[in-house]
Structure 1
Amino acid sequence: MVCHKGSLEVREVEVPEPGPGHVLIKVLRAGICGSDLHARVHGDVVADIGEKVGYDHFMRPSQAVVMGHEFVGEVVSYGPKCRKRWRPGTAVVAMPIIRHDGEVEMVGLSERAPGAYSEYLLVQEDLTMPVPEGLDADLAALTEPLAVAHHAVRRSDVGRRDVAVVVGCGPIGLAVVLMLKAAGVKTVIASDLSDLRRGLARQCGADVVVDPAVDSPWDAVPAQEKHFTRAGDLFSVAFDAMHALQAVPGVPWWALMNVADKLSLTPRGPVVFECVGVPGMIDDLVTHAPFRSRVVVVGVCMQPDVFQPAMASNKEVDLRFVFGYDPAEFRNTLHLIARGKVRPQPLLTGTVGLGGTASAFEALGSAQSHAKVLIDPSSDVVEV
């Protein structure tokens, strides 16, 4: 399935020849990612950003690119200088980056590294991992997007007693809900305009689900966990604390306050995961989230955006941006799925063959019918 100037069409191409350190795999399933939807129409924008951070080969609309960076496949053959660690037919997943002539390429997002919307695919042996025995191919194919969520949750430094608020319950938001619950976070609030996605968030383990057109996610915080939304309330805590601590005999009030701070007993807001990725979302969260919230930006906004830094400063809002994952997080995610610690079945809402990719892209442009659609290259299904 080749993307060229925004159009998707099936073409016959040569089976790739594995080079040094490469493994040729037969694709069993490939996932359609939100990044693929963006890259199809905003390729030049992302490519320009890529060049500024040192990557010159991100796909552009003028190029013919085989997309797909979420996948599971079977080992077919090896190139030179490989350890040949797995027998042909072994099910594997791999991180979607590969080396060609010493340069790193992004699999499925570069013309130089054709992706998994195809029958065969090249991966880097060093970044390939065997699928644990008994794990279904549909679930193994979700390793990559769930690894993104795993990394985001780890980067957030969320604690089990923190309140987590997930804004946007598309595939990545649902994956964040799954990973938060796997990490033991007791209170997860999920917010989305779509009935379908709110239902999927419940299935993924969200404790509270909110339609933001009707209710505020900040009002959904349990009473015993209420956060500060007015400066006066936060200052009142300081007054009350000073009055109480200075009444303790024999211990300096500042020592007690330092202990409270180290034990995380001082007031702070929820940990918020922005999983929408459209202009205005960061400003909305900075403006409306409680004081001292920590906002983790997981959604990728392709357009320029603005927010009010003075608002963030006055409320001491933390902003953290995340991208990708490391090899250990990728492997951990695969084994969390295999052990049943993470159960991503609710994300799977459709499967098509290569000929159905365009219709799947169209369907995924709406939040009303699907979350994660997989491509099975051996399937003849053309509609989701």
Structure 2
Amino acid sequence: MKAVVCSEGKLDVADIETPRPGPGQLLITVERCGICGSDLHARVHCDELAELARATGYEHFMRSHQRVVLGHEFVGRVAEYGPGCRKRWKSGTWVVALPILRTDGEPQLTGLSEQAPGGYAEQVVVQESMTFPVPNGLSADHAALTEPMAVAWHAVRRGRVGARQTAFVIGCGPIGLAVITMLKAAGVKTVVASDLSPRRRELATRCGADVVVDPAVEEPWTATPRKPRITGAADILNLGFDAMDRLRAVPKLPWWLAFRLAHTLDAGPTGPAVFECVGVPGILDRILTAAPPRSRVIVVGVCMQPDTIRPAMAINKELDLRFVFGYDPGEFRDTLHMLASGKIDPTPLITGTVGLPGVPTAFTTLATPDHHAKILIDPTSPTTTL
């Protein structure tokens, strides 16, 4: 079969052996596959990523000298079952799957491991237990975005954003746009998005952002429609004075019980939720410096270089810092059904489609933020330009 092979940082279309499904696995014919920012990173930084993965207990991340078929955002049709499958779906059924296999008891990340070729190909192997039929006649283009939208859904869920709480999205690349879409699907009333690129700001508006700012002109923190209750440490101290004045004005009131109850219910003063979706050195420290006190910072962007933050800044503001990665099977399934029901519309994210021969051009184009967000691959298409 034909596939795009990555080796030593180069991408080439090659004829390779069609992968065979093992026990509990099936082969699907790829209809669409998205190009992810992780693929762009892996092409040039895979050795660094492999060392990070090894430090966390995963030994099989791709290396630069290997020949790897990238691609983990795919949709396709059932083609063939391996041994030991329940054969839940007929041949030709549209399906999506979590990009992970278990072979000989070892997990393999599809599209990021030499042992698990990905979706930049005519066919790809998936795990039957991690596969889901595409419901409701959902289009191939939209179904292919189940995986990246699930990443965003996981980030939003981990962010625990209340409907009345303001959410800031810093960086409006594909993952930032997906986070904006999922925040609005979760019912968050006010989403402020920030990006230097005019094109990305336009897409952020189309994804539902309520306020969009150019950080070179305006700080996102001052662009909220409603003035925040807390903008600095002095506001928190004054809230303490005001609360104590009121509580101690009532004779014999055990005022300390009010503070205990507030802690139990997590009902104290809070700042906004801030989603860091840039992933370059310096951004996280800038957010910690500028974000209002008691903010929750959710780190979604993947920074590949060493970075520096000032812990004392976060301590003085009592900021929450959460790092997120991936999703669970339930979130993946729920995302698929949100797409199929029309609760979320990923159309603004999709800005181009190429065939396998056009993948190198697509990678070059995606290196700059001025034109494209998410480019899909159609393995049957001869298209090489965007």
For the superposition of Structure 1 and Structure 2, which TM-score range results when normalised by the shorter chain?
over 0.9
SS in 2 for 1:346: helix
Post-superposition Cα deviations, 1:83-137, rounded to whole Å, max 9, x if no partner, equal 0110010000000000112211000001110000000100000100000031000
Contact 1:286 1:312 (8 Å CA) reproduced: yes
**C-alpha deviation, 1:223, in angstroms:** 2.9
Counterparts of 1:300 and 1:221, CA distance in 2: 26
Q: Does 1:382 align with 2:384?
A: yes
Aligned residue number for residue 132 of structure 2: 129
Q: What does 1:40-59 align with in structure 2 at a 5 Å threshold?
A: 40-59=43-62
**C-alpha deviation, 1:144, in angstroms:** 0.1
Q: Normalised by the size of structure 1, how large is the TM-score?
A: 0.97
Aligned residue number for residue 282 of structure 1: 284
Contact 1:196 1:368 (8 Å CA) reproduced: yes
Contact 1:203 1:346 (8 Å CA) reproduced: yes
Counterparts of 2:137 and 2:329, CA distance in 1: 22
Counterparts of 1:232 and 1:134, CA distance in 2: 55
Counterparts of 1:47 and 1:356, CA distance in 2: 27
Q: Does 1:157 align with 2:160?
A: yes
Structure 2: 5+ residue runs without aligned partners? none
Contact 1:227 1:270 (8 Å CA) reproduced: no
SS in 1 for 2:338: helix
Counterparts of 2:322 and 2:265, CA distance in 1: 22
Aligned residue number for residue 26 of structure 1: 29
**C-alpha deviation, 1:177, in angstroms:** 0.6
SS in 1 for 2:39: helix
Q: From 146, 150, 153, give the equivalent of 1:143.
A: 146
Counterparts of 1:258 and 1:223, CA distance in 2: 29
Q: Normalised by the size of structure 2, how large is the TM-score?
A: 0.97
SS in 1 for 2:14: coil
Q: Indicate the larger mover: 245-254 or 194-203.
A: 245-254
Aligned residue number for residue 82 of structure 2: 79
Q: Which residue identity does 1:105 align to in structure 2?
A: Q
Post-superposition Cα deviations, 1:261-289, rounded to whole Å, max 9, x if no partner, equal 55555322111000011111111111111
Aligned residue number for residue 65 of structure 2: 62
Contact 2:158 2:324 (8 Å CA) reproduced: yes
Q: Does 1:118 align with 2:134?
A: no
Structure 1 runs (4+) greater than 6 angstroms displaced: none
Post-superposition Cα deviations, 1:131-157, rounded to whole Å, max 9, x if no partner, equal 003100000000000000111111111
SS in 2 for 1:10: strand
Aligned residue number for residue 373 of structure 1: 375
Post-superposition Cα deviations, 1:30-74, rounded to whole Å, max 9, x if no partner, equal 000000000111111100011111111111111111000000000
Q: Does 1:194 align with 2:194?
A: no
Contact 2:193 2:209 (8 Å CA) reproduced: yes
Q: What does 1:336-351 align with in structure 2 at a 5 Å threshold?
A: 336-351=338-353
Contact 1:360 1:373 (8 Å CA) reproduced: yes
Counterparts of 2:9 and 2:42, CA distance in 1: 9
Counterparts of 1:262 and 1:367, CA distance in 2: 45
Post-superposition Cα deviations, 1:316-365, rounded to whole Å, max 9, x if no partner, equal 11110011100000000000000011111100000000000011111111
**C-alpha deviation, 1:224, in angstroms:** 4.0
Q: Does 1:7 align with 2:18?
A: no
Aligned residue number for residue 268 of structure 1: 270
Q: From 320, 337, 348, give the equivalent of 1:335.
A: 337
Contact 2:100 2:109 (8 Å CA) reproduced: yes
SS in 1 for 2:124: strand
Contact 1:69 1:116 (8 Å CA) reproduced: yes
SS in 2 for 1:335: helix
Structure 1: 5+ residue runs without aligned partners? none
Q: From 312, 316, 334, give the equivalent of 1:310.
A: 312
Aligned residue number for residue 209 of structure 1: 212
Contact 1:279 1:301 (8 Å CA) reproduced: yes
Identity across the alignment (%): 62
Counterparts of 1:256 and 1:176, CA distance in 2: 36
Q: Indicate the larger mover: 144-153 or 264-273.
A: 264-273
Counterparts of 1:263 and 1:111, CA distance in 2: 48
Aligned residue number for residue 234 of structure 2: 232
Q: Which residue identity does 1:302 align to in structure 2?
A: M
Contact 2:136 2:341 (8 Å CA) reproduced: no
SS in 2 for 1:225: coil
Aligned residues: 383
CA RMSD, 1 decimal: 1.2
Contact 1:3 1:64 (8 Å CA) reproduced: yes
Counterparts of 2:182 and 2:130, CA distance in 1: 22
